[in-house]
Structure 1
Amino acid sequence: MINHDGHSSSSLLLAPEPGRAGLTRAVEGYDQTGSLIRIPVVEERPLTIFLNGQEIVTAMTIGDYPEYLALGFLRNQGMLSLQETVKAVDYDEDLETVVVRTDSQTNYEEKLKKKTRTSGCAVGTVFGDMMEGIEDLVLPEAEIRTSWLYGLSHQINRIPSLYLEAGAIHGSVLCHRDQPLVYMEDVGRHNAVDKIAGWMLSEQVDGADKIMYTTGRLTSEMVIKCANMGIPVLASRSGFTAWGVDIARQVGLTLIGRMRGQRFVCLAGEDRLIRDIDPSQVPADTGKKRRTSAE
């Protein structure tokens, strides 16, 4: 397990640490009345990922959990198989690099030549064929109770987070039934998901009985990442893209969006849903209160 300093009062295995040093800095400006204000603004920094001796990519990130980000990115790019033995993950803060070392030689020069800039915030990148490995993928059977969805939405929206502190960020949460397990944030939702993938790989956690909840749009990239992680359910309070829906239907992923208060829309895998609660019994969405000035 990769250890990190810091403590969270949350019952999650890993939770956001909005007060962690270096994630934000205070910036002065003026509000709509012309009054001077001072607010926390999210920091961005580059992180260059190496696989053995080969430079793979430089990602813009908030800088927390760089080892998990590197492992998850390589796993979701098909550059690190589940059968691969990771010997070391070395992070150099001064050089802003992570080197993932395996027990076998790797060479992805041809794959790196084909690059797709995705629709993700902070501009995600997919190397090679986006659909590589997806054509024959079928996700495991699973059930999802609507009471779990409502419970997750209620809990996650109230967890202290960098989003509530400063905004301009996305979150992704790995869940089991109605319990959030690991909550990651970053400037791009693809980075947040990759961090979870890296944690799952490091801890050898199976995705077959898990739910992924994300604050961002349900795009093709998000569906592909979730499918590659073996997670059969992806939910969001945001909307869909048509290609994301098509891929979800192809691989048998349950895709749920526009989750707000009593409402949600399921555009793929509806057969997994067990409607065990009357939506009218669910509290209405009162919205999230984001801090607008330093307290």
Structure 2
Amino acid sequence: MQLARLDDTGDYIIAPDPSAARLTRCVEGTDHEGRRVTTNVVEERPLTIFLNGQEIVTAMTIGDYPDYLALGFLRNQGMLQAGDEITGVDYDEELETVVVRTARQTDYEEKMRKKTRTSGCAVGTVFGDMMAGLEGVRLPATPVRTSWLYALSARINRTPSLYLEAGAIHGTVLCHQDKPLVYMEDVGRHNAVDKIAGWMLAENVAAADKILYTTGRLTSEMVIKTAMMGIPVLASRSGFTAWGVEIAKEVGLTLIGRMKGQRFMCLSGEDRLTRDANPREIAEEPRRAGRKGA
């Protein structure tokens, strides 16, 4: 068995760019000993999403890929339906707005009256019944090799990112087998996964053979969004919530958490795992070096 090369970072379709303008800002302060320090901190800015003529939500985001964020948010809210013809996606940087236009006339005033504040770190919002759209959903029983999980974890954790540069951010990665494809970051994990959903919608990418990796907790919100996207496997460095596990079992989602070094835990979809890697042969994850300015 050969794991993916850890130093091969050039074949992502989209990867984080920690040096990109407007994503971080250098600020001055003092450390625990009173010494002057400088550090990079992540920027936050509002983005208001419109669907046709209706204002839907204002999200706090780092500001990259606003078109994918808008498309993915609307898709994961059920406001963009299968078969919708998207006639335009217009971003105005000065007004900090994205307008998504469809051939179908839309009106979600009633749906928007019912909001659920989610557990996302930047406070996500779900409109309508959180479980709406999951009725009858049964994800494909896609097999998962443990060698893929180990390779993905090692590769993603060594990819240059805003998290390593400045912290205070979540990452979500769309993967195929042992290869990470699209790596999105944002201040809330809900935004990061919505960007993935938007990219998949814009590029018409199939979901049934994909794995979604997230640095955040495996909450009900993350499980629901992954299931709505049609992705059969969700993995994370972090832990689980009970409702997240319950929903994963109901829809047939393989749910893997606490992935660090040799270790992981599968709480849904154990029968789909092919254990083709010996954990004792996997290197333990080294202790992270401090981030710049830490």
Match of residue 5 from structure 1: none
CA positional deviation for 1:290: 4.1
The match for 1:174 is: 174
Q: For residue 122 of structure 2, what is the aligned residue in structure 1? A: 122
SS of corresponding position for 2:70: helix
Counterpart check, 1:50 vs 2:41: no
Secondary structure of 2:153 counterpart:
helix
C-alpha contact 1:256 1:265 (8 A) present in aligned 2: yes
Cα distance in 2, alignment partners of residues 240 and 273 from structure 1: 18
C-alpha separation in 2, matches of 1:127 and 1:166: 31
Residue by residue over 1:227-273, the C-alpha shift from the partner in whole angstroms, topping out at 9 and shown as x without a partner, is: 00000000000000000000000000000000000000000011110
Contact 1:157 1:288 in 2 (8 A): no
Is the Cα contact below 8 Å between 1:174 and 1:196 reproduced in 2?
A: yes
The aligned counterpart of 1:238 is 238
Give the corresponding residue for 1:3.
Answer: none
Q: Distance in 1 between matches of 2:201 and 2:287?
A: 34
Gaps of at least 5 residues in structure 2 are: 1-8
Separation in structure 2 between the aligned mates of residue 60 and residue 142 of structure 1, nearest angstrom: 34
CA offset at residue 135 of structure 1?
2.3
Aligned-pair CA distance for 1:104: 1.2
Q: Distance in 2 between matches of 1:225 and 1:267?
A: 18
Aligned match of 2:4: none
In structure 2, C-alpha distance between the alignment counterparts of 1:227 and 1:164, rounded to whole Å: 29
Q: What does residue 6 of structure 2 align with?
A: none
Query: By how many angstroms is 1:292 displaced?
Result: 2.9
Which position in structure 1 is the counterpart of 2:150?
A: 150
Distance 1:288 1:68 in 2: 31
* In structure 1, distance between residues paired with 2:291 and 2:234: 28
State the Cα distance separating 1:34 from its structure 2 match. Answer: 1.0
Q: CA deviation at 1:82?
A: 2.2
- What is the TM-score with the length of structure 2 in the denominator? 0.96
Counterpart for residue 100 of structure 1: 100
Task: Say how many residue pairs are matched.
Answer: 286
| Maintained 8 Å contact 1:49/1:58 | yes
Unaligned runs of 5+ in 1: 1-8
Kept after mapping to 2: 8 A contact 1:239/1:257: yes
| SS, match of residue 60 in structure 2 | strand
Identity %: 72
The offset of 1:11, in angstroms, is 1.4
The one-letter code sitting in structure 2 at the alignment partner of 1:139 is: L
- SS at structure 2 position matched to 1:171: strand
Specify the alignment match of 2:199 in structure 1: 199
The 5 Å alignment of 1:1-295 reads 10-293=10-293
Query: Following TM superposition, by how much is the alpha carbon of 1:141 offset from its aligned partner in structure 2, in angstroms?
Result: 2.1
AA at the equivalent of 2:141: E
Cα deviation, 1:171-197, whole Å, max 9, x if unaligned, reads: 000000000000000000000000000
Amino acid of the structure 1 residue aligned with 2:189: R
**Counterpart AA for 2:152:** L
| 3-state SS in 1 of match to 2:119 | coil
Name the CA distance, whole Å, in 2 between partners of 1:292 and 1:158. Answer: 15
| Cα-Cα RMSD | 0.9
1:47-66: CA deviation from partner (whole Å, max 9, x where unpaired): 00000000000000000000
User: SS state of the match for residue 234, structure 2?
Assistant: strand
Cα shift readout 1:8-64 (whole Å, capped 9, x = no counterpart): x73100000000000000010111111100000000000000000000000000000
For residues 49 and 28 of structure 1, the distance between their equivalents in structure 2, rounded to whole angstroms, comes to 33
SS at match of 1:73: helix
- CA distance in 2 between counterparts of 1:259 and 1:108 reads 39
Which segment drifts farther, 79-88 or 183-192?
79-88
Distance in 2, matches of 1:206 and 1:132, equals: 22
Using the alignment, how far apart are the partners of 1:67 and 1:248 within structure 2? 29
Query: C-alpha distance in 1, partners of 2:91/2:80?
Result: 18
CA distance in structure 1 between the aligned counterparts of 2:10 and 2:40, rounded to whole angstroms:
22
Letter in 2 for 1:37: V
